[in-house]
Amino acid sequence: MFQSMSRKGTCLDNAIMENFFSILKREMYYGKNFHSYDELKTAIDRYLYYYNYQRIKEKLDWQSPVMYRLNANNRS
């Protein structure tokens, strides 16, 4: 996994993804040993499911991203 590097003077174009990778590494990667690519890929897949369907955020009214989007669609 590599972080992208934007050109000088355009640091904000990757801010959202840089923040996500920081959260992913902090919550799922650091402190763990992965012995194969498949093991790492499975862990990332599980984390992505958790992040989108189970992990609640204060900014989203204490809902997961998927629930927030579903509720937003129902309000429209």
Token representation of residue 17: 């993804």
Q: How far apart are CA 46 and CA 49, in angstroms?
A: 5
Instruction: Identify whether 20 is part of a domain.
Output: no
Q: Residue 35 to residues 8, 25, 27, 39: CA-CA distances in angstroms? A: 36, 17, 18, 7
Instruction: Identify whether 29 is part of a domain.
Output: no
Q: Which residue range forms the structural domain that includes residue 69? A: 35-76
pLDDT in tens, 5-39: 656 666 666 788 888 999 999 999 999 999 999 99
Instruction: Identify whether 5 is part of a domain.
Output: no
Q: How far apart are CA 24 and CA 44, in angstroms?
A: 8
pLDDT in tens, 1-13: 566 665 666 666 6
How many structural domains compose the chain?
1
Mean pLDDT within 40-53: 96
The pTM score is 0.74
